[in-house]
Amino acid sequence: MRLFLCEKPSQGRDIAKVLGATRRGDGCLIGTETTVSWCIGHLLETASPEAYGEQFKSWSLDHLPIIPAQWMVEVKPKTAAQFKVIKRLLSEASAVVIATDADREGEMIARELLELCKYRGPVQRLWLSALNEASIRNALSSLKSGQETFLLYHSALARSRADWLIGMNLSRLFTLLGRRAGYDGVLSVGRVQTPTLRLVVDRDRAIASFISVPYWEVEVHLSSMGQPFIASWLPPSSGQDEAGRCLQQALAIQAAQEISSGKTATVLSLQTERFREPPPLPFDLSTLQEVCSRKLGLGAQETLNIAQALYETHKATTYPRSDCRYLPESMFNEVPAVFDALLKTDPALQPTFGRLDRSLHSRVWNDAKVTAHHGIIPTTEPANLARMSEQERQVYELIRSHYLAQFLPHHEFDRTQVELKCGTERLTAVGKQILIQGWKGLLYENTEEDEPSQKHQVLPVLQQGTQCAVNDAELKSVRTAAPKPLTEGDLIKAMKNVAKLVNDPRLKQKLRDTTGIGTEATRAGIIKGLIDRGYLLKKKRALMASAAAHTLIEAVPAAVADPGMTAIWEQALDEIEAGRLTLDAFVAKQANWIAQLVEQCGALTLAVPVEAGPTCPICNASMRRRKGKSGPFWSCTHYPDCKGTVPIRKDTRRS
């Protein structure tokens, strides 16, 4: 019997249908010579510390670091029944085809089961980019060898073990240090979550420390041959700051008066430059999350859930957890089939299709830039829009538009910058003349939303020496604005492009520009976890760090919270996948680093906010507030070695 091992029941049903495995079994679907079964995500998890010794049940600095000599996994209680099904099927299987999601976590979900159940037979890999029938049949006809994707498993194991070492050891370490200082909460530390939290804390600090500075602008209303346009006053170099702003009110008032009293402004020079903007590429997951946050107000996890539903439930789009925005050259042959499917899905697209050029070969078709996955695009099978929720349809239409944009011309425009003189004052005006609307007629990408409106104006015909009438000069008082709080989309973008935020020259040299923190598959979950733990607070679309988050980031060593260091670790996981670094070497380095941190930080005193309490009646140590079944009470900070307590009277309790 050949066993297909899938990641989810829905995925299993789709593959079983194509294989003809239609007879229902216990946790599986059975065909003539083929059985399809499925996990429910990870059926196994890395064993908790107490599995390595009874002493680890209690949290103590004396027991740190906890570094397993032999790693253990445990069956998740909630899915133990399905594990038994798979264990039995593996014992009967003559061959296994791994059909989990085509990424390193999918590889690990299957491989950890094969290893625990001691399966030693042949293994092949089904590598799917979409769950529609045509894509499944195509993938079945070109199965990969199991060896070809085996190192993905080691990369995932390395990620899992590094996360465990850091999470279990440093969370215990800093929670215990916090308790010693009187902090009555858990300080959770994670390999990716803590540097991600640092990004928000840094933004909060930048906002809190920002001092707004007033500056002045002069907006000049001009006209030539009856056509009005707007110019801006250029302060003299002696009156500018580094950003070219005028900080001297008297200077701006004087300029406004001189310009107002002048009747004309003369064109000194003008320069026109032509721009050609190619259509935006199809989405990878991070870019989709970023755009959906900005346009639709969706959280990162919401976007991922919707993209997963479009892939799994509706079969409308391809694999969502992609880190690539390009398409393989071979998929150009599928364009007619995709177009046919899109028209059947939504006949209202007919006028749009009349403007598309199917022969256009945009930059998206590039084998050299395709990774394990390609960009997220529509599939070759029609979808049912009526079955989609409003948000699903909105996300689907974004994905669809970015695909169709590849078959429209570049957006072309001329940008003209003019310099003028009015008396002794100099002015500048910028204009834009659209020549070819191109893809922007389909995709209303608001790429210019942060630019002043006068940059989009159409200028009259001007040449050197042209005299323009001065109609008005308006003095404007402006203040510098603080940085904006991060949204989930901003945070996803910062996690992905963390190399740009790294200042350490040594890290920057090592760090590839393509290396971020977390992966396409995990970033949304990291952000959700920080929100669920109360480290991140969400107000409308804005994210802010809680007081506990600031406490944690101030407490942990810089390397633990450094996004650049975490990105270096992510880079190491890529090296394992490529076969240039071994799993054991990576984990050994992590273990050594953890041991050093525990030794260095064990004697730290954390600066955490704490309510002043009484001294312990037994050992005279300070006491901290704790919560019990009957309400709050004072407990000795040397607990459990000292079990001294003092009750808190009701009239002194905090509300």
Output the six-digit token pair for 89.
Answer: 């099927």
Contacts of 53 (CB under 8 A, 6+ apart): none
In terms of C-beta density within 10 A (0-12 exposed, 13-18 middle, 19 or more buried), how is residue 52 classed?
middle
Q: Per the residue annotation, which of 119, 215, 311, 319 is the catalytic one? A: 319
Helix (H) or strand (E) holding 289: helix 285-296
The three-class DSSP label of residue 91 is helix
Length of the chain: 655
Locus of tokens 């195509």:
138
CB of 156 within 8 A of CB of 489?
A: no
Output the six-digit token pair for 123.
Answer: 């293994």
CA distance 241 to 235: 10
The three-class DSSP label of residue 352 is helix
The three-class DSSP label of residue 645 is strand
Largest CA distance in the chain: 94
Q: Is 403 designated active site?
A: no
Q: What are phi and psi of 507, to 5 degrees?
A: -65, -40
The three-class DSSP label of residue 469 is strand
CA distance 402 to 405: 5
Q: How far from 211 is each of 203, 206, 214, 482, CA to CA, in Å?
A: 14, 10, 10, 8
CB atoms near residue 326 (< 10 Å): 21
CB atoms near residue 515 (< 10 Å): 21
The three-class DSSP label of residue 97 is strand
CB of 487 within 8 A of CB of 294?
A: yes
Residues belonging to the active site: 319
